[in-house]
Each structure stands twice: as C-alpha cells, then as structure tokens.
C-alpha cells in the first residue's frame, strides 16, 4: 500500500463529507478531468473530479503517469477515466489533465458538443488544457483550436501584463513546452497580443488564450511535478487565478442548459463563424504589415506569409540552416535571402545570398536569387530613401552601388519589404497580376521596379 496517498484520499473524503452544503446554482462550478487528487474546494465553490481509476506511477522520462501493468494497452483509457463524463457545460471551469488528453481522447471526443456548448455558455466559461504535442491531440474535441507546430524546449518568456503572470511565474520551473502556436506575436498588434501568456525565445506562443463566444480555452505549457501534493497546490492556484480574472456574477443565475444547441438562435452560429473569420483575417493582415518593421526569423515568417497571400507557393528554409525562403512556381524557382537592418544593405549582405545561390544552382541552373531587404526598419517607409541619402551622398536607391553591381552580375533581384507591401496593396485593389509579378522578378537584374 502507498500509505501517504491512502492518507490523502481518506482526508479528501473526510473534507467532502464534512464540508457545509454548497448551493450549486450560486457556486463557481469546477470539473477536473483525469487528476488523481483534487485540491480542497473553497466555500463558494463546487469542485468535482473524475479521477484516475488506476494509481499508476509517474514516468520521469515522459512526464506522464502510466497505468498499472495489469491494464493492457487496449484498455489504457479505462485505466485513467471513468466511462461516464458529466455534462461539461454545467461547469464554469473545466481542467483537463495531460493523461486524459494522451490516453482518453475517445472519451473527450464523445463530449465534443459539450465542449462547444461550454464556450457558448451565458457565463464566462473556461476550458484549460496543457499542450502535450500537435493538433492531432485536440482536433476531435477542443472547439476553438489554434494551429500548433510540434517542437520542444524549456525557455519561457512570460508576458508580465497578462493576468496569469503571477501564477506562471510561481511555477515557471515546472514548465517545459512540446509545441507552440504556428505564429509569432511580434507580427501582432498590442490588442491581439494580450491573449498570449508566454512565448519561446523566438516569440512563438507556448501558452495562450483562445476566445470563443463568452468562453475561452487556456492552453498551458507541459508541466511536471515531483508528487501529487505539488500538483494539487498548482491546481488550486490555477483555479484561483481564473476565478479572480473571470468572476461569475452570483446575482445573475442563468441555467447551464441555455448553451445547448437546441436553445441557440439560428443566427448565432453564423455570427460566431463570421467573427472568427474576421479575427483570422485581421491577424493575417497584421502579419503582412509587420514586414515593415521586423527582422530575423519573425521577418522571414512574415515575408513567407505575405507571399502565400499573393498565392505564391513558398517554404521557409531558414530553420534548416539554408537560404531563408524558397519559391516554387512554374514561372519562377527562386531562393530568397531576407534581411532586416537598421540601416542600408551593402555588398557584404548580398554576398550571403551569393553563397546560398551557388549551392542552389547545383540542383537547378535556372534558379533565381532574390534579396529582400527591410531597410532602416525603425523609420517610416516613405522616409527611408532620404535616410539613405543622409548616409550615402550619391545614394539613388536603398542599396549601395557595390550591392547593385553584385546583383546585376549574378542576375539577382533586389526587392524591399516596402515594395512587397505595396504589391499586396495592389492585390487588395484588384490591380495585381501574379504572373506579371513573377515574370518581373525573374527578368530583373538588380533593382526591382514596381509599376503602379
């Protein structure tokens, strides 16, 4: 017998039996799915838990609790969760464990409609899920899913203005991450960035809120604890943080069944769909605009996103230690070197493209070289040429004469991020022709000329 755990269970049952009755209608209702121990509930809180049925051991290598050996792999979900999960939208806060996501996805998928109704509840409902990997872990049941890219790391940059900052700071040593949202917050405006809780060193969100209706899903990084007591304290602090932020009004009792599909008005679904589509479009436009001020990998990702919005097929190659972006079109196969600078580009910057281009020509002799520059990135784009003339007396463009000479000799196209931005504006007004754009780049030796 595991005596400490047995004592904890007895103490928990004693507290529940001897706790004063709680008015379900007036209390903050919390459901924990897949945790072995639940924290002590507060006076105005109704806390229910679907506990792990098998007290398996914690695997330090994987970070997951595994069931006892008597359970075969075929019955692993039943080793962790009761077969019946209660009506999810009856609760204000639902927290799902790592083990429930990994081993009990079928149980969670069966409640897909309940999770969607939770987001549409007449009160500020919250679903909390840890990120254990890619989208395949969530697509069958999380109603407001973000695109996740599977990566691993242990560096967290906490956002000090987010309401969860104090909670995240307290448990920062317990967090690692196994996937991140496939975007960079550097390309988002301040209002959009407020929903991000933590990022990795390249500003990809690894903890964030995803709003929907009156509710939200809070995605947390992967967490590990040395024992069940530590995890219970973590859950208590998590619930306190959520309740402090999203308070449930006790004077306005609305029945939970209101959020069921049977009682929703026909236009609500369409309005929510349009709102989500508009939010995604705003995020896309913000990322396109960000090519005017970013640098590094964030600039590379935003340039690739802009090209895709122009219907140009391309892939980011920078993370492979190669040129930054590669374009794959019948009219244009090109390697793109992307650079964000506080000043102008000289021949040394262009030579980096030359090195990659020599390697690329071994595979395709007709491959085009493109150098895309976000020059004087702190300055307003319309003022950048005058900035160049302050630095270089006879400067007639945003590239030095040496840089232009290398480009002309090697059949490179020199393009600025502001020009690419203006190309996208042409598409927005219906004045863009993709084929003409690609042919112009292909035929340009030196400076790209934008015809408006």
pLDDT at 48: 87
Interval 278-301 mean pLDDT? 86
pTM: 0.61
All residues at 6 or more sequence positions from 353 whose CB lies less than 8 Å from its CB, including other chains: 323, 335, 337, 369, 370, 371, 412
**Under a CB-based contact definition with an 8 Å cutoff, are residues 34 and 130 in contact?**
no
Q: How far apart are CA 253 and CA 65, in angstroms?
A: 38
pLDDT at 17: 45
Token pair listed for 237 = 């602090």
pLDDT at 414: 93
- Tell me: pLDDT of 250 over 60: no
In the chain, % of residues over pLDDT 90: 33
Tell me which architecture the domain covering 286-447 has in CATH. 3-Layer(aba) Sandwich (3.40)
- Could you give the C-alpha distances from 352 to 236, 339, 397, in angstroms and in order? 53, 10, 20
Q: How far apart are CA 114 and CA 130, in angstroms?
A: 19
CB burial of residue 287 (10 Å; 0-12, 13-18, 19+): buried
Q: How far apart are CA 22 and CA 42, in angstroms?
A: 10
Phi-psi region of 115 (alpha: psi -120 to 50; beta: other; left: phi over 0): alpha
To which residue do tokens 């035929």 refer?
443
Identify the CATH assignment for 3-264 out of 1.10.15, 3.30.1490, 3.40.1800, 3.40.50.
3.40.50
- Tell me: pLDDT of 188 over 80: no
**Domain residue extents for the chain:** 3-264, 286-447
pLDDT digits (tens, 9 = 90+) for 128-180: 999 999 999 998 899 888 889 888 898 899 998 899 999 999 999 999 999 99
Q: How far apart are CA 364 and CA 136, in angstroms?
A: 36
Q: What pLDDT band is residue 87 in, cutting at 50, 70 and 90?
A: confident
pLDDT at 411: 92
- Tell me: pLDDT of 297 over 80: yes
Q: What pLDDT band is residue 432 in, cutting at 50, 70 and 90?
A: confident
pLDDT at 133: 93
Query: Three-state DSSP class for 351?
Result: helix
- Hey, which of 21-35, 76-90, 262-276, 359-373 has the most confident mean pLDDT? 359-373
- Could you give the C-alpha distances from 371 to 28, 362, 401, 413, in angstroms and in order? 57, 19, 15, 6
pLDDT digits (tens, 9 = 90+) for 329-383: 999 999 999 999 888 888 788 887 888 888 888 888 899 999 999 999 888 999 9
**Under a CB-based contact definition with an 8 Å cutoff, are residues 101 and 127 in contact?**
no
**Mean pLDDT for the chain overall:** 82
Q: How far apart are CA 389 and CA 447, in angstroms?
A: 17
Q: What pLDDT band is residue 263 in, cutting at 50, 70 and 90?
A: confident
Q: What pLDDT band is residue 416 in, cutting at 50, 70 and 90?
A: very high
- Tell me: pLDDT of 390 over 80: yes
Based on DSSP, count helices (H) and strands (E) in the chain, helices before strands: 15, 17
CB atoms closer than 10 angstroms to residue 403:
25
Q: How far apart are CA 353 and CA 361, in angstroms?
A: 12
Interval 274-289 mean pLDDT? 84
Asked if the domains 3-264 and 286-447 are classified in one and the same CATH topology, the answer is no
**Under a CB-based contact definition with an 8 Å cutoff, are residues 124 and 61 in contact?**
no
Q: How far apart are CA 346 and CA 14, in angstroms?
A: 75
- Tell me: pLDDT of 13 over 70: no
- Strands of 332-340's sheet in order across: 314-316, 325-329, 332-340, 368-374, 412-416, 446-447
- Hey, which of 2-11, 79-88, 134-143 has the most confident mean pLDDT? 134-143
């Amino acid at each position: 017998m595991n005596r400490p755990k047995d004592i904890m269970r007895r103490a928990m049952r004693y507290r529940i039996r001897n706790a004063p009755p709680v008015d379900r209608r007036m209390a903050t209702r919390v459901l924990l799915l897949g945790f072995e121990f639940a924290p002590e509930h507060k006076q105005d809180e109704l806390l229910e838990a679907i506990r792990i049925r098998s007290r398996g051991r914690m695997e330090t290598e994987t970070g997951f609790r595994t069931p006892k050996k008597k359970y075969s792999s075929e019955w692993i979900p039943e080793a962790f969760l009761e077969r019946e999960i209660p009506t999810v939208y009856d609760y204000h806060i639902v927290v799902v464990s790592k083990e429930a996501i990994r081993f009990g996805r079928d149980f969670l998928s069966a409640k897909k409609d309940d999770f969607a109704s939770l987001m549409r509840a007449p009160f500020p409902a919250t679903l909390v899920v840890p990120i254990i990997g890619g989208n395949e872990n969530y697509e069958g049941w999380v109603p407001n899913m973000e695109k996740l890219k599977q990566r691993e790391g242990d560096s967290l940059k906490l956002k000090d203005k987010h309401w969860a900052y104090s909670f995240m700071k307290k448990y920062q040593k317990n967090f690692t991450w196994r996937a991140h949202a496939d975007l960079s917050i550097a390309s988002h405006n301040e209002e959009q960035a407020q929903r991000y809780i933590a990022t990795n060193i390249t500003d990809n969100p690894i903890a964030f809120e995803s709003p929907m209706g009156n509710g939200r899903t809070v995605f947390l990084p992967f967490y590990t604890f040395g024992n069940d007591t530590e995890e219970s304290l973590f859950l208590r602090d998590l619930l306190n943080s959520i309740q402090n932020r999203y308070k449930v009004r006790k004077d306005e009792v609305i029945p939970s069944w209101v959020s069921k599909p049977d009682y929703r008005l026909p236009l609500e679904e369409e309005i929510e769909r349009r709102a989500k589509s508009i939010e995604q479009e705003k995020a896309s436009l913000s990322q396109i605009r960000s090519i005017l001020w970013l640098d590094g990998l964030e600039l590379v990702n935003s340039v690739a996103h802009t090209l895709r919005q122009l219907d140009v097929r391309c892939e980011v190659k920078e993370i492979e230690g190669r040129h930054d972006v590669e374009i794959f079109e019948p009219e244009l196969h090109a390697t793109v070197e992307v650079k964000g600078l506080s000043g102008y580009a000289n021949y040394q910057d262009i030579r980096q493209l030359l090195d990659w281009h020599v390697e690329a020509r071994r595979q395709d002799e007709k491959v085009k070289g493109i150098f895309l520059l976000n020059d004087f990135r702190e300055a307003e784009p319309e003022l950048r040429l005058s900035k160049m003339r302050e630095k270089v007396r006879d400067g007639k463009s945003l590239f030095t004469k040496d840089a232009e000479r290398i480009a002309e000799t090697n059949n490179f196209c020199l393009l600025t991020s502001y020009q690419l931005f203006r190309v996208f504006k042409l598409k927005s007004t219906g004045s863009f022709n993709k084929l003409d754009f690609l042919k112009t780049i292909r035929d340009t030796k030196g400076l790209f000329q934008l015809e408006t």
